[in-house]
């Protein structure tokens, strides 16, 4: 657990800053915001050619998605309609760091990405995080957050840039200082959509909401004794062994916004009392044999949507564009 702001900044830098490396192709002022975001990630975590700028350490798996009976009432999206056969999905779990070799025992949020392969050949993605809420409200603020982390090395003068930033951004301070216990498995963590989406059903009725993925196996975390003996890659090893024995399942839920809920500010966590609608079940059945090779070809994007689902938060466009920048750079390095 990160027990103080100073310890948090120091730990972040110690774990993720082998060097401050920022791309120098052009002055930052001449670059788009998505390019600046990727540069800021590189400034915190270093440049790792051929790898994702964020969440490079992961594991790919395969399975299916079966929509719930209630899904079609929310959206006309193809994968949410009742079908004779489930929709194939590719799932990627990832460690929450830009370091390819970050140990699974690190106290960082984990990621989960799901690619739905629809019968007409189209695809749609879901990108979620194992923390409910986000440190900042806009992509511009997220860039500033990353730059502050990158400028807060062990020898940085006090107050450090990250201390100053967190002092002015309570949501970011909460995000950084909140406990992030290590899970028993990637399959025993809940995951939350960062941003809000607009859902439209076949009758034109509109619902705004955020995704949540709930593990059917329940939420389970390591004890301190278990954590002390956990291997650096225990999550990857565990999920592979888990799905070899039996499928890992998640319930895909939609937390519905009420009239006065802010849908364009991901720092605001809606109350648990908000209505939730079950959209379906993701069933992970097997690990990809050569995950590293598969992951190089995989590309998930929050804005990869199909009719019936639209972005409701401007941050989604910036996130998606930064993913494309990262993809382009890692493709050039391969």
Nearest to 284 by CA among 135, 91, 105: 91
Q: What residues contact residue 331 under an 8 Å CB cut-off, 6+ apart? A: none
Please give the helix or strand (H or E) that residue 206 lies within, else none: strand 206-215
Please give the helix or strand (H or E) that residue 127 lies within, else none: strand 123-129
CA–CA gap between residue 112 and residue 194 (Å, rounded)? 12
CA–CA gap between residue 262 and residue 118 (Å, rounded)? 31
CA–CA gap between residue 210 and residue 191 (Å, rounded)? 11
| C-alpha separations of 323 from 111, 129, 320, 330 in Å | 14, 15, 5, 11
Catalytic residue, from 55, 169, 174, 220: name it. 55
- Judge whether 55 counts as a catalytic residue: yes
Asked if residue 76 lies in contact with residue 201, where contact means CB atoms within 8 angstroms, the answer is: yes
Q: Strands 276-287 and 309-311: what pairing?
A: unpaired
As to burial, measured by CB atoms within 10 angstroms (0-12 exposed, 13-18 middle, 19+ buried), residue 1 is exposed
Structure tokens given for 225 = 């004794």
- Alpha carbons within 13 angstroms on the beta-carbon side of residue 50 total 6
| φ/ψ of residue 319, rounded to 5 | -60, -50
End-to-end CA distance of the chain: 37
Residue ranges of the alpha helices (H) in the chain? 5-16, 33-45, 139-150, 161-168, 170-177, 224-229, 234-245, 291-297, 315-333
Q: Is 219 helix (H, G, I), strand (E, B) or coil?
A: coil
Nearest to 302 by CA among 132, 136, 111, 152: 111
Active site residue ranges: 55
């Amino acid at each position: 657990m990160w027990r103080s702001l100073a310890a948090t900044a120091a730990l972040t830098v110690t774990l993720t800053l082998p060097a401050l490396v920022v791309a120098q192709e052009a002055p930052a002022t001449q670059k788009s915001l998505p390019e600046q975001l990727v540069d800021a990630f590189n400034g915190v975590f270093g440049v790792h050619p051929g790898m994702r700028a964020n969440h490079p350490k992961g594991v790919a798996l395969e399975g299916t998605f079966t929509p719930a009976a209630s899904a079609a009432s929310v959206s006309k999206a193809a994968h949410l309609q009742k079908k004779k056969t489930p929709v194939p999905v590719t799932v990627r779990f990832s460690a929450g760091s830009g370091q390819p070799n970050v140990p699974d025992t690190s106290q960082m949020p984990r990621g989960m990405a799901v690619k739905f392969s629809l019968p007409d050949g189209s695809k749609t993605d879901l990108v979620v995080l194992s923390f409910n809420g986000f440190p900042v409200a806009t992509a511009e603020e997220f860039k500033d957050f990353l730059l502050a982390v990158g400028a807060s090395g062990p020898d940085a003068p006090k107050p450090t840039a990250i201390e100053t930033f967190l002092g002015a951004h309570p949501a970011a301070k909460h995000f950084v200082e909140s406990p992030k216990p290590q899970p028993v498995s990637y399959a025993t963590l809940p995951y939350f959509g960062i941003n809000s989406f607009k859902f439209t059903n076949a009758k034109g009725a509109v619902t705004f909401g955020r995704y949540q993925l709930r593990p059917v196996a329940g939420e389970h975390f390591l004890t301190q004794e278990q954590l002390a003996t956990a291997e650096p890659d225990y999550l990857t090893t565990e999920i592979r062994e888990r799905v070899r024995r039996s499928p890992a399942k998640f319930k895909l839920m939609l937390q519905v916004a009420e009239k006065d809920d802010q849908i364009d500010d991901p720092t605001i966590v809606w109350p648990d009392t908000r209505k939730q609608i079950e959209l379906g079940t993701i069933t992970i059945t097997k690990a990809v044999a050569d995950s590293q090779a598969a992951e190089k070809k995989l590309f998930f994007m929050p804005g990869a949507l199909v009719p019936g689902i639209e972005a409701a938060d401007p941050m989604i466009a910036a996130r998606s564009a930064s993913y494309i920048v990262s993809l382009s750079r890692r493709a050039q390095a391969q």
